[in-house]
């Protein structure tokens, strides 16, 4: 098959719903948008989704079950929750997208690939948890849970209090060759879910390690390695904004990398929210100045791809 354009799309975990029921419904709408895009052009499409709410839900459920029955229910390492969330979110996306493609009489296969991502064992991120996961709480609730579960908690970009975990930077996508093969065979690929399962190389062998890699950085690495024509981050806001949620808030429709980096340095973006998105987008454009990079709203996917909505980052 002739592939005209390669697109890597990062879908925010918060934009996919906070419960299995809501997620199953939301992905139907997402899948319909994606299927429409695919019908109009032979895109090679790779989806990389977040898992912040979902991995927190899984981990908390196991922790509470372990307290009730420690002999029957083991404590769950965080990396296990990451791999579980890859499977359950990926399955919902895969099923919804396959159904949408069939309904539109599009003959394309969809494959979800559990993905391991190498990180550095000495990454400073392991000493400074910055990745928000799980539910939103009041400050009082969050601090009580922190005392009970030995969590790091903090305020998340004006949205409430959450648990924060280590988020090491991705260095290598171990299943990259498999992803390329699947794309070349005409598959739409869901990979790097939740940023991928973090692993470190020790004595010639890979070992799982606890942490949640930011999916925007993993998607950026995927887009760079695959030489994608488009790198798109879809979330639950229309654009990147300066002075977010302030009376002086102003949307950014188009900006050059240099100016965006200045805004990052000035502290405009939340460490667990918009900051990793703009950093990943800027890094992609710096590495691939002839490609296109956009941050936009999941519900306006067609307008984002057409350049009519979202924030476009230029070299």
Q: Which residues does the annotation mark as catalytic?
A: 13-14, 131, 215, 277
Task: Count Cβ atoms below 10 Å from residue 244 Cβ, excluding itself.
Answer: 18
DSSP 8-state secondary structure symbol assigned to residue 14: G
Distance CA 45, CA 114 (A): 17
Q: Where are the alpha helices (DSSP H) in the chain?
A: 20-40, 52-68, 78-103, 139-149, 176-184, 215-225, 257-265, 275-287, 301-305
SS3 track for 32-95:
HHHHHHHHHCCEEEEEEECCHHHHHHHHHHHHHHHHHCCCCCCCCCHHHHHHHHHHHHHHHHHH
Residue 37 CA, chain-centre distance (Å), reads: 20
Instruction: Name the helix (H) or strand (E) containing 174.
Output: none
Helix, coil or strand: residue 8 = strand
| CA distance readout (Å), 286 to 75, 100, 114, 227, 266 | 42, 35, 28, 13, 20
- Residue pair 60/73 in contact by the 8 Å Cβ criterion: no
Instruction: At 3, give phi and psi (nearest 5°).
Output: -95, 125
Q: What one-character-per-residue DSSP string does 107-122 give?
A: --EEEEE--EEE--TT
DSSP 8-state secondary structure symbol assigned to residue 236: S
């Amino acid at each position: 098959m002739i592939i005209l354009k390669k697109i890597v799309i990062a879908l925010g975990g918060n934009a996919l719903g906070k419960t299995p029921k809501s997620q199953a419904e939301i992905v139907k709408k997402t899948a319909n948008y994606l299927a429409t895009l695919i019908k109009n052009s032979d895109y090679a499409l790779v989806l990389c989704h977040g898992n912040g709410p979902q991995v927190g839900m899984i981990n908390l459920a196991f922790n509470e079950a372990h307290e009730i029955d420690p002999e029957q229910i083991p404590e769950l390492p965080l990396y296990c929750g990451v791999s579980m969330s890859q499977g359950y979110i990926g399955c919902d996306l895969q099923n919804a997208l396959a159904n949408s493609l069939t309904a539109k009489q599009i003959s394309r296969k969809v494959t979800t690939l559990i993905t391991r991502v190498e990180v550095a064992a000495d990454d400073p991120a392991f000493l400074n948890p910055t990745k928000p996961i799980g539910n939103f709480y009041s400050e009082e609730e969050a601090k009580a849970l922190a005392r009970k579960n030995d969590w790091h908690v903090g305020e998340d970009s004006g949205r409430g209090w959450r648990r924060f975990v280590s988020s090491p930077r991705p260095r290598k996508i171990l299943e990259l060759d498999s992803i390329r093969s699947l794309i070349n065979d005409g598959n739409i690929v869901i990979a790097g879910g939740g940023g991928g399962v973090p692993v470190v190389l020790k004595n010639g062998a890979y070992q799982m390690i606890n942490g949640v890699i930011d999916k925007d950085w993993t998607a950026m690495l995927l887009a760079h390695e695959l030489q994608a024509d488009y790198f798109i981050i879809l979330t639950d806001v229309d654009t990147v904004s300066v002075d977010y949620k302030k009376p002086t808030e102003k949307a950014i429709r188009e900006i050059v990398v240099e100016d965006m980096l200045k805004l990052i340095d000035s502290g405009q973006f939340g460490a667990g929210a918009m900051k990793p998105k703009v950093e990943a987008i800027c890094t992609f454009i710096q590495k691939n100045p002839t490609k296109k990079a956009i941050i936009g709203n999941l519900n306006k996917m067609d307008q984002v791809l057409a350049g009519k909505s979202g924030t476009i980052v230029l070299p």
